[in-house]
Amino acid sequence: MLAVSSSAQGQGLGRLLVQAGEKKAKEDGFEIMQLEILRPRGWKMKAKEVLKSWYEKLGYEVVEVAEVELFYPALLPFLACECELVVFKKSI
């Protein structure tokens, strides 16, 4: 998991983090990069919608919206509300 502090957002640091991850994955022989968002089910959270738009701006496409328990069942007891997993992919 990578994140940029809200006080440091808007300076290009997130883009640099994603680009570094893509570069490392490509060097290791991977051809596809996957990013994920855990978002509330049934209502919109502004921060998650902003992140979704930002991923799409970086060239990622939503390839799946899935039940969290299918990918990360151990997370369920820690969630404050019902969530879904949004999976993004991009060729690198």
Concatenated DSSP letters for 32-89? Answer: EEEEEEEEESSS--HHHHHHHHHHHHTT-EEEEEEEHHHH-GGGGGG-SS-EEEEEEE
pTM given for the model = 0.88
| Amino acid letter, 42 | G
Cβ partners under 8 Å of residue 61, min gap 6: 88, 89, 90
Q: CB atoms < 10 A from the CB of 13, how many?
A: 14
Report whether pLDDT(3) > 90. no
Domain count, the chain: 1
10: in domain: no
**Does residue 58 fall inside a structural domain?**
yes
* Any domain includes 25: no
pLDDT of 8 strictly over 90: no
- pLDDT grade, residue 1 (50/70/90)? confident
Give the pLDDT confidence of 23-72 residue by residue, as tens digits: 999 999 999 999 999 999 999 999 999 999 999 999 999 999 999 999 99
Give domain status of residue 49, yes or no: yes
